[in-house]
């Protein structure tokens, strides 16, 4: 270690040895992740941790460790990905209370896994869906926009707050002119709706989801099929909304009936529309932003909750775009 790295900045002693072992992780893997992310040298002996290195970095590591220990003490199982999320959050804002985010249980899936927000923006998104009837979630792939909306929809159905869930997205890759594709209607549109099925099946087992779809309690359909309908007592999710046209977005938003919620998700940087067609999501952001009862939540690359490589990939593409713009 360098002279700077050998400077002892803090010692943390955790009162419960069992909880400390959960915090440190198998073979101290969680401590290693925090050390790598902060640049601090972390040494553990028993339930005591010593932090060496830069004072500011050591203070960040101490904050991460203390807050994660508090989560474990409250019964939250901390996994390596949670360590990464907590480190990312507190690196940007040391005042954030991780408990307020991670302990906000949205739904328990059929696999007995609790869905919770993993970033301040995700927490804001969840709170917005609870409070507002129309919510827009805008940001890059991997930020949990569709997944959290699906969790909120299934939770609302389970609590009988709504009587059905409607999942829709534009089938823009086929121009919504599906007649030339082989198969019946379901076989034609299913490839374009597959991501919605995937998210749904992660929330509940395949058989239960199939039964609810047969009863039309859960409906998955292309956006074009929403025309002419009024949707009451429903939780409606419009996914990939950047691929909707202005006319389609207006049509969708005016389908919403009584006791319904609508969540519109999309990434305005990844529109598949022809260059001469304006994105309905982009225009909705401009037109509707001043309406008090509609909430817009914006995600960034920092909110990516997929594999750690996804964030690196997003960074690489952003850097390429920045070089091209110069």
Per-residue pLDDT for 324 more than 80? no
Supply the pLDDT for residue 180. 47
- Measure CA 41 to chain center: 32
Report residue 156's pLDDT band, with 50, 70 and 90 as the boundaries.
Answer: very high
Q: Classify strands 107-108 and 114-115 as parallel, antiparallel or unpaired.
A: antiparallel
Q: How far apart are CA 280 and CA 64, in angstroms?
A: 41
- Measure CA 54 to chain center: 33
Q: Classify strands 234-238 and 8-13 as parallel, antiparallel or unpaired.
A: unpaired
Report residue 277's pLDDT band, with 50, 70 and 90 as the boundaries.
Answer: confident
Q: How far apart are CA 122 and CA 104, in angstroms?
A: 11
What 3-state class would DSSP assign to 43? Answer: strand
Q: What is the pLDDT of residues 253-268, one digit of tens each?
A: 999 999 999 999 999 9
Per-residue pLDDT for 94 more than 70? yes
Higher pLDDT pick, 272 / 247: 247
Q: How far apart are CA 69 and CA 20, in angstroms?
A: 7
- The DSSP-derived string for 74-134 is TT----HHHHHHHHHHHHH-TT--HHHHHT---EE-TTS-EE---SHHHHHHHHHHHH-SE
CB-based contact 191:222 (threshold 8 Å): no
Q: What is the pLDDT of residues 170-228, one digit of tens each?
A: 876 444 454 444 554 555 556 667 778 888 888 888 889 889 999 999 998 888 888 88
For residue 195, report the phi and psi dihedrals to the nearest 5 degrees.
Answer: -60, -30
Strand partners, 266: 138
Burial of 3 (0-12, 13-18, 19+ CB in 10 A): exposed
Nearest CA-CA partner of 244 in 215, 267, 217, 218: 267
CB-based contact 65:11 (threshold 8 Å): no
Per-residue pLDDT for 154 more than 60? yes
Higher pLDDT pick, 192 / 146: 146
Report residue 1's pLDDT band, with 50, 70 and 90 as the boundaries.
Answer: low
Report residue 326's pLDDT band, with 50, 70 and 90 as the boundaries.
Answer: low
Supply the pLDDT for residue 271. 84
Q: What is the pLDDT of residues 17-74, one digit of tens each?
A: 999 999 999 999 999 999 999 999 999 999 999 999 999 999 999 999 999 999 999 9
Report residue 309's pLDDT band, with 50, 70 and 90 as the boundaries.
Answer: confident
Place of tokens 């994660």: 68
Q: How far apart are CA 145 and CA 149, in angstroms?
A: 6
DSSP state letter for 231: B
Supply the pLDDT for residue 59. 96
Count the Cβ atoms, other than its own, within 10 Å of residue 64: 24
Supply the pLDDT for residue 175. 46
CB-based contact 314:153 (threshold 8 Å): no
Q: What is the pLDDT of residues 100-138, one digit of tens each?
A: 999 999 988 877 788 999 999 999 999 999 999 999 999
Supply the pLDDT for residue 12. 93
Per-residue pLDDT for 79 more than 50? yes
Supply the pLDDT for residue 275. 80
- Tokens coding 285: 């952001």
Q: How far apart are CA 189 and CA 266, in angstroms?
A: 19
Supply the pLDDT for residue 172. 61
CA distances from 182 to 134, 168, 196 (A): 36, 21, 21
Q: How far apart are CA 139 and CA 124, in angstroms?
A: 14
Nearest CA-CA partner of 136 in 291, 302, 281: 281
């Amino acid at each position: 270690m360098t002279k700077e790295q050998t400077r002892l900045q803090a010692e943390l002693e955790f009162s419960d040895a069992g909880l400390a072992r959960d915090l440190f992780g198998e073979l101290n893997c969680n401590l290693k992740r925090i050390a790598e992310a902060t640049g601090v040298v972390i040494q553990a002996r028993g339930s005591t941790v010593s932090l060496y290195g830069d004072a500011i970095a050591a203070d960040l590591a101490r904050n991460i460790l203390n807050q994660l220990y508090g989560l474990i003490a409250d019964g939250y199982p901390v996994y390596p990905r949670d360590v990464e999320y907590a480190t990312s959050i507190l690196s940007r804002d040391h005042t954030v209370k991780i408990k307020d985010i991670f302990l906000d249980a949205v739904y328990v899936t059929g696999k007995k896994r609790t869905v919770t927000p993993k970033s301040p923006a995700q927490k804001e998104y969840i709170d917005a869906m609870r409070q507002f009837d129309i919510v827009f979630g805008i940001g890059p792939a991997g930020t949990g926009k569709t997944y959290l909306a699906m969790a909120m929809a299934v939770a609302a159905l389970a609590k009988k707050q709504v009587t059905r869930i409607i999942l829709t997205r534009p089938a823009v890759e086929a121009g919504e002119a599906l007649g030339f594709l082989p198969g019946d209607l379901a076989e034609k549109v299913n490839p374009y709706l597959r991501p919605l099925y995937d998210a749904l099946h992660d929330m509940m087992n395949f058989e239960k989801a199939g039964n609810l779809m047969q009863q039309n309690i859960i409906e998955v359909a292309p956006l074009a099929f929403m025309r002419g309908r009024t949707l009451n007592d429903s939780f409606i999710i419009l996914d990939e909304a950047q691929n909707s046209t202005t006319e389609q977005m207006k049509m969708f938003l005016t389908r919403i009936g009584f006791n319904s919620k609508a969540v519109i998700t999309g990434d305005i940087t990844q529109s598949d529309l022809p260059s001469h067609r304006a994105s309905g999501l982009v225009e909705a952001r401009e037109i509707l932003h001043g309406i008090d009862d509609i909430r817009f939540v914006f995600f960034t690359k920092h909110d990516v909750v997929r594999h750690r490589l996804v964030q690196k990939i997003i960074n690489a593409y952003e850097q390429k775009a920045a070089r091209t713009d110069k």
